[in-house]
Structure 1
Amino acid sequence: MTESNRSGQFRGAREFLKGDLFKGRGDTLLRLSGLGVVAGLLSAALVLPWAGSIGLVARDTAAGFMAMPSDLEVPPLSSRILLTTDGGEPFAEVAEREREVVGLDEISPWMTGALMAIEDDRFYEHSGLDLRGVLRAATRTAQGDTQGGSTLTQQYVKNLLIENAESEDEIESASAQTLNRKLVELRYAIEIEERHTKDEILEGYLNLSYFGAGAHGIEVAAKRYFSVSAAELDPGQSALLAGLVRGPSFYDPLSNPEAALERRNLVLDRMVATEVLGAEEGAGYKESDLGLDPTPRAGSCSESDYPFFCDYTMRWLKESDLLGESAAEREQLISRGGFTVRTTLDAAAQDAAQAAIDKRVPHEDSTKFAAQAFVEPGSGRVRGLAQNLRHGFDDERVGTTSINLAVDQAEGGSTGYQAGSTFKPFTLAAALDEGLGYGTSFSAPKNMSISGMTNCEGGRMSSWSVRNAGESDGGSHNMISGTKGSVNTYFAQLQKRVGLCDTAEMAKKLGVHRADGGELGVWSSFTLGDQEVSPLTMAAAYATFAARGQYCEPRPVRSVTDDETGEETKAGSECEQVIKKRTADGVNHLLQQTFDGGTANGLDLGRPVAGKTGTTDSAAYAWFAGYTPNLASTVAVGDVRGGEKHPLQGVSIGGRYYGIVYGGTLPGPIWQESMRGATASLPAESFAGSPGAFGDPKAKPPKEKEDDSDT
């Protein structure tokens, strides 16, 4: 196209714009047609070389323009997800885009005035297309000098397209600096003006816009930079925020204050020029500094009262069909936000656990950890997740971690810790399930060798040397005394009697699995708990005993409520009777004995309680797992650097020296104190009686018995 031809087309467009087509609102159809003609003429006159790429030709540009898609959806703006405790107390706000939607009457008039002054001072006069601005910008763009000319409505459309985008390609397309995109944007803008009032558009724009520093929407921006609400913004503050929408990163006052100051003053000049602000007042604000009073970014679990429970909940929601059947649907809903999650968190249990853990295993300057999980029997509701290490992402800072130490790796946790003798009840359950009684006895010396066991594939296991720990006594034992004393050599023989595979299968029935997602290893020492599991997994397994054989999948959510409609969706329990009631009742009876002169002696709660200590080989980790009929909890203690290399021997923790940490010496007292607080408001329920089929519940081991094991 020659320069003279282009100039002639520009003159024709200018002549057309001198008409009276838009002096009045007029008939909607006529006005839309007129806008289409104008847009068509502009595209024909200014962008003819590109017309073919968008399916338009010069002779019917107006018709082609009006036929372009115009039904742009204005969805509810993405906002925060509110998490509350089971009692309804908020403890976290999570948002991929931190935003608080407010009405136009909740936004300072100085803010709307500043925005229009710098971006679109004829906002209330045009119908989505500012002909003067478009002609000026299009002329310069066609000459190779890209210029902006978008109205606030067009900018609003662009932001909506980005908000609605479901892929990086769609975001890039919505932001592309092309005339094609501008025409699409313009067509949507005309339709938006038809369906919404100016005030609605302005309100939507201010709530949708990004102001940098993680602040989406004017309310969060006002708080982020000035620690005030949008309604409280003064002219200077409004000018700074209005200047950010053009380039939030470049004009960021927190990282680039000089550019922000220059931009703010430019906006103040425009406010004076458009008579939003008096000249003297504008000069006064230009002489002042930026006046920043920033508020740290919120909208993430790290800022919540219970960050690890928050993280666990959000991960669970992404995998649960509560928010949708597909992963994409769930991701989109979480990204959009706008709902409240009532979690299963019991603040009393959580706070009691935190206090007990912090008291005995302080996080400051320590590599030792303590982690605890609570599960409600019969429902699977996770009532608390606590640990001593604080939430943080600096690997070099001792006493902090981003890892949720109480849950599986796939849930944001670790690869787990060997659970020690807390695995022994699975052998008890397998034995009782197969009809063995409390009186099943073995001579259980300090050391012995076990051979003849086979795995689940029928493979014969090699001979296994096993010895009792320092907390165990040798001699003749039955189920009751062997459990009270946690006698390794007794349980090794009981496992052989029951069958190694049957013991492992019982554990699996109770929901036991490795924290790293791998298969449970079925080998000779299974009963001694050399598998890496999480405290939550063990709490859920012990809750199965408390629920008389009913296993419930752990879950942290009671319900999700849509903030706009108030519609509540409840999360149901996924429970299954996995073992016989009498088997669970028998285990419950045996585990109650540990508090009566056993390894859990002195750790009772003043109500019916059952439990088991656990200490791994060489004290790499120490555990306590226990429960009442209405709450189960487990505590694990170790070293975050790895218990195998840094065992709990000859260590000082919380100002106390331990020659060796057993399950009853540190995890046990943590469990006792936290459970007292957690069960304070719960009824003191009793366990079902001991099943008569298993024999005398007070049976004592024989004084002498022939050793029927391989030694």
Structure 2
Amino acid sequence: MKESDDQRTLRERVDTETGRKTLRLAGLGALAGILSAALLMPWVGGLGLVGRDAAATFMDMPHDLEVPRLSERIVLTDTNGEPFGEVAERERENVPLDEISPYVPAALMAIEDDRFYEHSGLDLRGLLRAAVRTAQGDTQGGSTITQQYVKNLLMEQAETEEELERASARNITRKIVELRQAVELEDRLSKDEILQGYLNLAYFGAGAHGIEVAAKRYFSTTAEELDPGQAATIVGIVRSPTYYDPLENPEAAEDRRDVVLDRMVETGHLDAEEAEEYRGGDLGIDHTPRAGSCAESDHPHYCQYVMDWLATTDVLGSTSQERSELIGQGGLVVETGMSRRTQDAAQQAVDRHVPPDDSTKFAAQAVVHPGTGQIRALAQNLRYGFDDEEAGTTSINLAVDQDQGGSGGFQAGSTFKSYTLAAALEDGLGFGTSFDSPKSVSVGGLSNCEGGRMSSWSVSNAGESDEGDHNMISATKGSVNTYFAQLQRRVGLCETSEMAEKLGVHRADGQDMGVWSSFTLGDQEVSPMTVANSYAVFASRGTLCEPTPVREITVGDPDNGGERIEVDSQCEQNAISSDVADGVNHLLQQTFNGGTANGLDIGANAAGKTGTTDNAAYAWFAGYTRHMSSAVVVGDVRGGEQYPLQGVNIGGRTFGVVYGGDIPGPIWQETMREASEVTPDDGFPGPPSKFGNPTSEPSNSSDDSDDGDDD
């Protein structure tokens, strides 16, 4: 078939371009070979590595340098998509070249490589200058922007100290490898792509990787809005990010800026009159503090909890190495389960009732969403910090388990009585199950789950008003210790502890739960997260979910093909029956009606339980609506057993003893009132009729016992 004129013209054009590339590569190879030999002459001249052999050796060097997706920050958002934290090994925001002020590449080329658009990766004049000075014993630069880009890429990809040292070494070997890879990169990428890559990759000091973060760090603006003086200041930093740091050494930075501006004039990138506007004056720094860690987050404890969760979840990889690499790479947008409204309400409540700088006392709260396990809030009065000498700060998240960055937990007191109620209802006992409940009683005949017999246990109530005949309704309202000790004996100690485990209860320190006589009075060290999540099973009518701080993860730019990964709730349906859950819900609602939670209503249907441990080491309140479950603990950071909540002044108030209804209850109440998603009509289903009369109480029981009845 005869070739048409258009086809012939196109073929000739392609052949010509191909020929040009081939000749250019060959010429560069020969040139680089000769230069390499010149540079290496003192060491390898005796081996005959000159001329053609040097060129061949140069062209055979490894040159398939990968240009990876640059590491960026991880952005954490609340349920509305509003950011509350940024975390990054290297703080960076990648931007396209057309969103970078033209003064930035102009300044860069003027001071670093004014022939950037003319050469093909190496500049003969600069290289000859470097060769002469190197031969004189002073290893010099002369690197083009492309060569510098190669060096930065190698440093970015370094995974070990050895690789990093090799990538940044000031020696001939590194320089020759850098030259070869620069030649190949120029053949693969356009000049604009190289320039864009360099400006996003380069380190500009003060933790700023890339031009966008540098613009924000030094001038609180964007790369697109930088003026000539600002561009010259930032570009000037590249030569020595420490010495020319505008924050630490402004005089040196000013001198360097003026040098860059002069070079911009000399190379035709800037008019002399315009340059004069920015020379000699103040830098005009408008500093934005460094982000990049949870310490700078609006909610640092929640932020750190999310980062710890990401490091362990299979969602980001099946091995710790895969997860670590992805987290280190960044570029993730993590939508968490945090409700900003709930988080703010919880934080304000704990701060108001237990001021962080007021004493050594702490308050911590966890809020979860029943039926999904989404963590709505994690709040504590102690601020995020690592200085043990600074009062009112800690890096420990007091609301979660030890292996999640939390503490070893706190004894939960009478909040555990709810688990005994659930075990009793599951065993077929009804609301009318009654016992004579004197001030003190000795309970024997208990066995643990291994069949071990417990010795007799003496238990007492906190007040004489609790004496008498009680059933489930009156005993729950008054939190009567001697009643629950007998109810646990009726159900079985092992069965009671197994019910707690069904509800997701476990020790915060990771040890096995102790199953002994006082289990029903909450002598196990647990976290607020665990208690809140167990009560959420009642709220959801039997569904146990793994507490989860993340809803969705986007890898890459969500507006430009980023991969969205939904995080499914890990839930077990029917962990307990809906009948049992409905029965417990009914009983725990009674505490607000003349019981230990009297006065803590939130204007909506709620259920809850106070808790005060033996000798008032810790005070608790746990409660929930259909849509939100929360647990609050108050104690002393030095240890509640040594420093109990007795005879203390907290938040300007003096307490003989702090009970669950005194401080934890109001914290819970204020949080739920502000953050509750329910209406007065959005209540719990009524209790199953099989549990008997839902309102009947023994005639001789008291409804007005004080809040301090929990041991």
Fold agreement, TM-score > 0.5: yes
Q: What letter is aligned with 1:652?
A: N
Residue 192 (structure 1) aligns with: 185
Residue 569 (structure 2) aligns with: 573
Q: CA deviation at 1:599?
A: 0.8
Q: CA deviation at 1:574?
A: 0.4
State the SS of the aligned residue for 1:287.
Answer: coil
Is residue 2:246 matched to residue 1:253? yes
Aligned alpha-carbon RMSD (Å) = 2.7
Is residue 2:641 matched to residue 1:648? no
Q: CA deviation at 1:186?
A: 1.9
Q: CA deviation at 1:406?
A: 1.6
Structure 1 stretch 194-203 or stretch 212-221: which is displaced more?
A: 194-203
Q: CA deviation at 1:612?
A: 0.6
For 1:347 and 1:45, the matched residues in 2 are separated by 65
Is residue 2:431 matched to residue 1:428? no
Q: Would the aligned equivalents of 2:30 and 2:52 in 1 still touch at CA under 8 Å?
A: no
CA deviations on 1:453-496 (whole Å, 9 max, x unpaired) are 23333333333332222497122222222211111122222223
Q: What letter is aligned with 1:475?
A: G
CA deviations on 1:566-597 (whole Å, 9 max, x unpaired) are 43211101011322222222222221221222
Structure 1 pair 236/423, CA: closer, same or farther in 2 (3 Å)? same
Is residue 2:334 matched to residue 1:347? no
Q: What letter is aligned with 2:624?
A: Y
Q: Would the aligned equivalents of 2:605 and 2:680 in 1 still touch at CA under 8 Å?
A: no
Structure 1 stretch 576-585 or stretch 149-158: which is displaced more?
A: 576-585
Q: CA deviation at 1:366?
A: 3.1
Structure 1 pair 56/85, CA: closer, same or farther in 2 (3 Å)? farther
Q: What letter is aligned with 2:648?
A: V
Residue 615 (structure 2) aligns with: 618
For 1:67 and 1:153, the matched residues in 2 are separated by 19
For 1:246 and 1:472, the matched residues in 2 are separated by 79
Q: What letter is aligned with 1:169?
A: E
Alignment partner of 2:488 out of 495, 514, 521: 495
Structure 1 pair 405/685, CA: closer, same or farther in 2 (3 Å)? same
CA deviations on 1:64-108 (whole Å, 9 max, x unpaired) are 332333222222222222222212223223322212222323333
Is residue 2:500 matched to residue 1:507? yes
Structure 1 pair 288/472, CA: closer, same or farther in 2 (3 Å)? farther
Is residue 2:621 matched to residue 1:604? no
Alignment partner of 1:539 out of 532, 550, 565: 532
For 1:625 and 1:257, the matched residues in 2 are separated by 55
Structure 1 pair 612/47, CA: closer, same or farther in 2 (3 Å)? same
Is residue 2:457 matched to residue 1:464? yes
Is residue 2:237 matched to residue 1:241? no
The correspondence of residues 343-422 of structure 1 with structure 2, limited to 5 A, is: 343-422=336-415
TM-score normalised by length of structure 2: 0.89
CA deviations on 1:165-214 (whole Å, 9 max, x unpaired) are 33333322322233332222222211211122212211211111111111
Structure 1 stretch 474-483 or stretch 418-427: which is displaced more?
A: 474-483
Q: Would the aligned equivalents of 2:92 and 2:208 in 1 still touch at CA under 8 Å?
A: yes
State the SS of the aligned residue for 1:611.
Answer: strand
Alignment partner of 1:636 out of 621, 633, 638: 633
For 2:548 and 2:581, the matched residues in 1 are separated by 22
Q: CA deviation at 1:55?
A: 14
State the SS of the aligned residue for 1:386.
Answer: strand
Residue 140 (structure 1) aligns with: 133
Is residue 2:37 matched to residue 1:44? yes
Alignment partner of 2:304 out of 306, 311, 316: 311
Structure 1 stretch 112-121 or stretch 263-272: which is displaced more?
A: 263-272
TM-score normalised by length of structure 1: 0.89
Q: What letter is aligned with 1:79?
A: E
Q: Would the aligned equivalents of 1:455 and 1:501 in 2 still touch at CA under 8 Å?
A: yes
Q: What letter is aligned with 1:127?
A: S
Q: What letter is aligned with 2:263?
A: R
Give ranges in structure 1 of 5+ residues lacking alignment.
1-23, 705-711
State the SS of the aligned residue for 2:311.
Answer: helix
Residue 7 (structure 1) aligns with: none
For 2:190 and 2:700, the matched residues in 1 are separated by 92
Q: What letter is aligned with 2:441?
A: M
For 1:560 and 1:682, the matched residues in 2 are separated by 32
Aligned residues: 680
Structure 1 pair 58/426, CA: closer, same or farther in 2 (3 Å)? farther
Q: Would the aligned equivalents of 2:63 and 2:181 in 1 still touch at CA under 8 Å?
A: yes
Q: Would the aligned equivalents of 1:471 and 1:486 in 2 still touch at CA under 8 Å?
A: no
For 1:674 and 1:51, the matched residues in 2 are separated by 75
For 1:523 and 1:68, the matched residues in 2 are separated by 72
Q: Would the aligned equivalents of 2:415 and 2:609 in 1 still touch at CA under 8 Å?
A: yes
Give ranges in structure 2 of 5+ residues lacking alignment.
1-16, 702-711
State the SS of the aligned residue for 2:447.
Answer: coil
Q: What letter is aligned with 1:674?
A: T
Alignment partner of 1:586 out of 583, 587, 591: 583
Q: CA deviation at 1:49?
A: 7.0
Residue 3 (structure 1) aligns with: none
Identity %: 68
For 1:157 and 1:683, the matched residues in 2 are separated by 65
Q: Would the aligned equivalents of 1:350 and 1:383 in 2 still touch at CA under 8 Å?
A: yes
Structure 1 pair 530/275, CA: closer, same or farther in 2 (3 Å)? same
Structure 1 pair 487/224, CA: closer, same or farther in 2 (3 Å)? same
Q: CA deviation at 1:143?
A: 4.2
Residue 12 (structure 2) aligns with: none
State the SS of the aligned residue for 2:642.
Answer: coil
Q: CA deviation at 1:624?
A: 0.7
